[in-house]
Amino acid sequence: MQVCIVYAGKDRNGGKLKEIAGAFAKGMEAQGHQADVLNAYDADSRLTRYDYVVIGSEPVSFFSAKVPEIVKKFLGQAGLVSGKRCMAFISGGLRKGRTLQNLMKIMESEGMILKLSEVISKPDEATAIGKRLNVERNS
């Protein structure tokens, strides 16, 4: 199956979030899936062709629970995402639970069907989750 991992850091660089997204892709590929990693700042890609979408983000600052505006902008331009099965993850910040809720709200407002949400701090955690994630094809 085709899986897309989109990461949206507080800036274009992505830093640690880029590493986590790459590690997540390795875990998915270990299951035999094709995994593409996209930076939400650089991507003008459509998500329509993917069977499963993973969106990762981080708060705009350490004490904030807000996710970067690029997440909403990217999903608004990503083609038909309504009904798409997906996963949300965040990394970093003090208010991790609230940040994850905010990311999930954005995804659900686009009609995406959340199957899993996680707080991931290290690349090896992302690889482990990617290896065991049950990816379902959209019906």
Q: 126: which 2 tokens?
A: 């992302």
Structure-block tokens of residue 49? 């062709």
Residue 98 lies in a domain: yes
CATH number for position 69: 3.40.50.360
In a domain, 139, yes or no: no
The whole-number pLDDT of residue 138 equals 53
Q: What angle do CA 95, 3, 19 make, to 5 degrees?
A: 50
Q: Is residue 126 part of a domain?
A: yes
Q: Looking at the 3D structure of the chain, how many domains does it have?
A: 1
pLDDT score of 136: 66
Q: Could you tell me the CA-to-CA distances from 80 to 28, 96, 127 in Å, in that order? A: 23, 28, 28
**11 falls within a domain:** yes
What's the farthest any 2 CA atoms get from each other in the chain? 40
Residue 50 lies in a domain: yes
Considering the domain boundaries, does residue 109 fall inside one? yes
State residue 137's pLDDT score: 60
Domain limits for position 117: 2-132
Scan for tokens 């995406």, then name that residue: 112
Residues of the chain predicted below pLDDT 50: none
Cα dihedral sign, 100-125-76-60: positive
Question: What pLDDT, on the 0 to 100 scale, is given for residue 53?
Answer: 95
